[in-house]
Structures are given as structure tokens and as C-alpha cells.
A and B are shown apart, each in its own frame.
Chain A
Amino acid sequence: MSQAQSYLSSARDDLRTEPRPVRAAIIAIAVIFLTVFVVLPLVVVFAQAFSKGVGAYFSALSDPEALSAIRLTLAVAAISVSLNLVFGLAAAWAIAKFDFRGKTFLISLIDLPFSVSPVISGLVFVLLFGAQGFWGPWLQAHNIHVLFAVPGIALATIFVTFPFVARALIPLMQEQGTQEEEAAISLGASGLQTFFRVTLPNIKWGVLYGVLLCNARAMGEFGAVSVVSGHIRGETNTMPLLVEILYNEYQFVSSFAIASLLAMLALITLVAKTILERHLDEGQLSSVD
């Protein structure tokens, strides 16, 4: 670059960007803040988990209580993700493919769980199914266990993960319109054939995206599940609950070992989310072309 050119370009830079020291300061503040508040907490999980060596780490994970928490977490996530997947697909079909009054209101009702404190999401089920709750006495008389058992944990988890799949699919399906489905129907395809052969291939990345986020929240939910679980050891403790119990018993290696599994889940989710977002962007571009 000649001197004149570099002078010109730096003169233009002066108009459009900040002086060099300001730029450096802003980058430094952003990087330091994110390192202190986000990176270090993540690193400390793994540092603590391996602080007594690899052997202690794996023996903590193979403890029967840990294994039972992992099993329960996987089971609850499977139940809530599959139910919310069916609901999410139905809601997205009704909302994105048809016009009706009150649509915006319906969408904000679906969004409600995002704005409810996790503790309250658990509390509402205690009020329904607890011993002093609306249906508690009847359930007790018939010996049906909802609270402090798997059904209660599943219900609370379904509540907090309710919007994820629907929210991922509604904008995507609205953008894609109804032309392809209408063509399929007019060519004689049945409703289900149209859905599985036309709609589903178009929204597959969106479905995966919703399932991914729904699953991450389902496996990691703490507050809502904590209220309904009853903390029965080896029975109603999910992985996040076991992290709490072990931590309060000063079993730090065991607590952080379980926490490290959840942290890895979070990292894998973030990577997969980035990949899916790229697919979704490409899909939108190709549909525009």
C-alpha cells in the first residue's frame, strides 16, 4: 500500500470507526468480561471434576446413585421431548398453515412457560397434585403417585420445555407457505401422506433444532423438578438434583463429575445448534432462489 493510499484509507476509517485505543479497550473489556463470567465457570466444572484424578472421576460416575440419576434424566427427557414434539408439530401445522383470529394470542400462550420462574412451574403441580392440593386427596385414596414420583417430574419438565419445538417450527413453516402442500393434496395425496412426504422433509432441520433445544432444557432443568421431585435418593433424583445434593454434602468431585456431564451436554448442544442454524439459513436461501 502506498503512503497516499494508506492515508486515505485511514482517513475513511476515522469517519466510520473509533480511534485505535478505544477499539482496543472495547475488545479488551468484552473479552475479559466473557472470560470471567462465562469461560471460567465452565472451566472450573472440569477442573473440579478431575481434581482428584481420572480414577476418582470415573468411580464417581459409576456410583449406583449417579447411574440411577442418569437413567431417570434420560427417561424424563425422552418422555417430555416426544410429547412436546407431537404437540409442537400439531401447533405449528395449525398456526402456520391456517389463518384464524386470535393467532397472536395463541402464540403468546404457548410462550408463557418462558416467562414463568422455574420454581413456580413446579409449584403449580404441587398445588394440583400435592396432599393439600386440588386432586391430592383423590389421588391418595386411589394410591396414585404423581408428586415425588416420575409423573410429576415429567409434568414439570414438559411445562418448562413446552414452547421449544413449536417456536422453532412456526416461523419456518409460515415462511414456506402452503403451495407445496396444496399441490400434493390436489394431486390426490392424503393429509398424512402430504405431511410425511412434503412438509416433514422441508422442516426436518427445524424439527431437529427444536428437539435439540427442548432436550437440553429437559435434561438440565433444576428449579421446577426440584420442587416436585421430593429428592428420594436413587429414585427421584435427576442429574441436576444429584449435583445439588452431592455439593451440599461436600462431595465435590462427585458433584462436579455429574455437572461435567451436563456441561458437555451443553457444549454439544451449542455445537449442534450452530451446525443446524447453518442448514436452516441455507434452506431459507435456497427457498428464496
Chain B
Amino acid sequence: MSAAAARRSTLPGFGLTMGLTLTWLSVIILIPLAGLFLKTFELSLDQFWGILTSRRTLNALKISFGLAFAAALVNLVMGTVIVWALVRYRFPGRRLFDAIVDIPFALPTAVAGVALTSLFAQKGWLGAPLAELGIKVAFTPIGIFVAMIFIGIPFVVRTVQPVLIDLDTEIEEAAASLGANRWHTVSKVILPSLIPALLTGFALAFARAVGEYGSVIFIAGNLPNVSEIAPLLIVIRLSEFRYADATAIAVVMLVASFLIIFAVNRLQRWAQLRIPAH
């Protein structure tokens, strides 16, 4: 490492800052995460498998991953519509709505959780009219779904928006002048160049929703096997001092999120290859 750094050796402080970085990284991130994996190795394979395939764990994982996937799909579609409106059209309040997209990033999750619950509870502003239609959102799996949509929407918008802004309008003009109608231009010319960004936004929203805790637990109802998400089950197992159970679920979720991040990195490399840097 230091030999390679010698190429730019006129600046001081490489050893010091790199040492500080690696120490702090190890103490705060790497050792604690390694501890989690070490704890898993204390379990036999049978025990590990037994925990993961118990009905309650399996259902919690299904609920977290399934609803997160569904919510990310909604975010993919709605995020694209929002980006399109924000980038391509001018309407009153556009800049305000553009800024508003970041609120789910900025609002503490517990605040989002109690706010969404109060909004969708049976007597809430949206819960009351929905209840008249016979739709119950709060304290059902639909509530989890709603909270996951809330938490995921900025990921799709903020990933796709810069790509659509940078997209050359000359290509679509060329397509139009060659006789393509608008729908063909959008679906055959514009959307394909957005695909890497769309997939990245989808994956980020999915990863966030799978691990989400604060904004979900208030509205979820938290009924085991029905509306109990995996992160909550980890917390419950911890409070019961069943550390092994908590750890096994955590490892599965952690590996899943690493795989998603790995996929995102590959996607971005693919996107860079497809669109050569200007």
C-alpha cells in the first residue's frame, strides 16, 4: 500500500490518516460485524437451519422481503412518473415538490412511523375515508406496505432524476423526425437508457425497505406470522435473551443486503460501460 502511495509522496500524512482510518473503521464497523458472524459460528448448521425455518422466522422474512419487493415496484413506477413530471414539465410548485421528495430521507423514522399511523388509523385523515370503503390500512400488512413506499420513494427519484436530466434530447428529436410517434420514442429510446438507473433505484429502495424498522413498527400491528417484520423479530428475540435466534435472522438479512449492494455496484459499472463518459 505505502509503496504504491510513494508515487505522490510530496504530500505528508498518508501514514497517519490511513492508520486513523483503518483503526476507526475496524473498531466501529469491522470488528462489530465480524462479531455477528462469529456468533453465528457458535451454532451448528442444524440449529441455524432450525431457527431460520421455524414458522415465525420464515413468515417474518417473507413479510419483510415480499412487501419490500412490492413497495419497491410501486416506487419504481411512481418514482418514474414523479421524475418525468419534475424534469420534463413546468408546473406551479414544481421546485417545492422537488424538495419534498427528500423528506423521507430526512425525517427520523420514528416520526414517520407515528405520523403514518395517525394518518391511516381508523379515525385518521386518510384512514377514515378508506375505512368507509372497507379498506383497513393501519395495523395490517397494507400498513407495512405503505410505510415501505414512503421510505423508498426518494431512492428511485434521486437515482433516475440526474440521468433523465443529462439525457440528450437530440436523440428523441431524431427518433421523432424519423417518424417514431411519441409513445415509441419514450418506450424504445428514452426508457432503455434509463434502465440501469431504474434498476439501481429499485434495488436501493428494496434494500432500505427490507431493513426498515422505525417507520414500519408503529403502523404494522406486529401480529406474529401476519404483520411482524424480520427486524422486529430480531428485537423481540433479543428482549427474550434468545441471542442465537436474533443473530441467525440478522446474518441472513445482512448477507441479503450485501448481495443487493453488490448487484447495485455491478449495475453502475454496466451503466458506465453503456454510456461512455462525456
Contact = CB atoms under 8 A, between A and B. Distances in A.
A44 B8 CA distance: 55
A14 B182 CA distance: 8
A97 B11 CA distance: 8
B32 A128 contact: yes
A138 interface: no
A58 interface: no
Interface stretch (B51-59, B243-251, B270-278): B243-251
A283 to B, nearest CB: 19
A222 B243 contact: no
Given A37-B153, A185-B10, A259-B115, A119 B235 contact: yes
Contacts of A256: 114, 118
A120 B211 contact: yes
Q: At the interface, is chain A mostly helix, strand, loop or mixed? A: helix
A39 B126 CA distance: 13
A151 interface: no
Interface string A75-90: 0000000010011001
Nearest to A97: B11
Q: At the interface, is chain B mostly helix, strand, loop or mixed? A: helix
Interface in A139-180: 155, 158-159, 162, 178
Interface string A224-242: 0011000000000000110
A158 B99 CA distance: 27
Nearest to B83: A30
A219 interface: yes
Interface string B7-28: 1101111101110110011001
Nearest to A102: B1
A166 B85 CA distance: 33
A90 B114 CA distance: 38
B29 A98 contact: no
A126 interface: yes
A118 B246 contact: no
Contacts of B5: 98-100
Nearest to B213: A223
B126 A159 contact: no
A6 B100 CA distance: 35
A255 B218 CA distance: 13
Interface stretch (B160-168, B191-199, B254-262): B254-262
A124 B32 contact: yes
B277 to A, nearest CB: 14
A227 to B, nearest CB: 6
Contact of B21 (A94, A125, A223): A94
Interface residues of B, number: 96
Interface residues of A, number: 98
Contact of A38 (B24, B101, B260, B261): B101
A29 B172 CA distance: 24
B243 to A, nearest CB: 6
A199 B81 CA distance: 42
Given A120-B253, A223-B213, A243 B258 contact: no
Contact of A220 (B12, B100, B107): B107
A89 to B, nearest CB: 8
Nearest to B253: A117
Contacts of A34: 82, 97, 100-101
Nearest to B183: A18
Contacts of A182: 10-11
Contacts of A243: 110-111, 114
A113 B29 contact: yes
A40 B211 contact: no
A112 B112 CA distance: 24
Contacts of B29: 109-110, 112-113, 159, 162
Nearest to A267: B106
A210 B172 CA distance: 38
Interface in B79-115: 81-82, 84-86, 88-89, 91, 93, 97, 99-104, 106-115
B114 to A, nearest CB: 5
B43 interface: no
Contact of A125 (B24, B32, B149): B32
16 contacts: A16-B172, A17-B88, A29-B78, A30-B82, A31-B91, A38-B103, A39-B100, A90-B17, A91-B25, A99-B8, A120-B254, A125-B32, A243-B114, A244-B110, A244-B114, A274-B99
Across the A-B interface, give the 10 residue pairs with the lowest CB-CB distance, nearest first.
A117-B211, A220-B108, A124-B32, A15-B176, A223-B213, A222-B214, A191-B12, A30-B85, A266-B106, A41-B115
